[in-house]
Chains A and B, each alone.
Chain A
Amino acid sequence: DGGITQSPKYLFRKEGQNVTLSCEQNLNHDAMYWYRQDPGQGLRLIYYSQIVNDFQKGDIAEGYSVSREKKESFPLTVTSAQKNPTAFYLCASSNDREVSPLHFGNGTRLTVT
């Protein structure tokens, strides 16, 4: 079955450490996205990529970095510069057409202490 896989589901890190969240899709979608969700809040865009080897900052990109070396993969690194990294992170992909919905992975819950 086609879909988006995020791993791991839960991640724990010490403050000051960088951590990379994995996102893989086999939907053959060109566009991929990373969102952050805080308790009681909607989703906010961190980064997005419309094509391999290209990506753009979203609304809250500070303290994060991404790469898009393959169409299927869009890993997100949460760096030590991110002041409040504890959150639920969702990866999504789409055909980047106006009527195409975003397909989401199951998310990674990151806790930094």
Chain B
Amino acid sequence: AQKITQTQPGMFVQEKEAVTLDCTYDTSDQSYGLFWYKQPSSGEMIFLIYQGSYDEQNATEGRYSLNFQKARKSANLVISASQLGDSAMYFCAMRHNYGGSQGNLIFGKGTKLSVKP
């Protein structure tokens, strides 16, 4: 069965420093996609970054990068130069081919990031 594991319930980082949020996944599929979402206290889910299983380069989007290690089945999110507004829950997710739907995602339990001034 497909599964996403985020082992860090909470993380603290000093403003302007970099932080890595861990994510490991389990799947028997050869083709899959990995996503990271940010959920502020207001509740909305904000898409941050995507990595395809066949992508050779690590994905980057502004201050976000994804450290993809396929053999280890890990897809860690790196946030550079942390800002106070980065304080939120962060969820790692994997695309799950559920009953033919390409779009469904399965989620980890999340990591709460707190940025200290």
Chain A positions within 8 Å of B, measured between CB atoms, are: 31, 33, 40-45, 48, 50, 56, 58, 88, 90, 92, 94-107, 109
Contacts and interface: CB of A to CB of B under 8 A. Distances in A.
A105 B44 contact: yes
Which of B91, B98, B100, B104: most chain A CB closer than 10 A?
B104
B98 A98 contact: no
Interface residues of B, number: 29
Contacts of A105: 44
B98 A90 contact: no
A100 B110 CA distance: 21
Interface in B27-61: 31, 33, 35, 37, 42-47, 50, 52
Given A43-B91, A58-B104, A96-B103, A48 B47 contact: no
Contacts of B95: 98
B102 interface: yes
A101 B50 contact: yes
Given A98-B33, A106-B43, A42 B110 contact: yes
Which of A40, A43, A90: most chain B CB closer than 10 A?
A43
Given A33-B103, A101-B47, A103-B47, A58 B35 contact: no
Nearest to B4: A42
A31 B101 contact: yes
A102 B107 CA distance: 12
B5 to A, nearest CB: 10
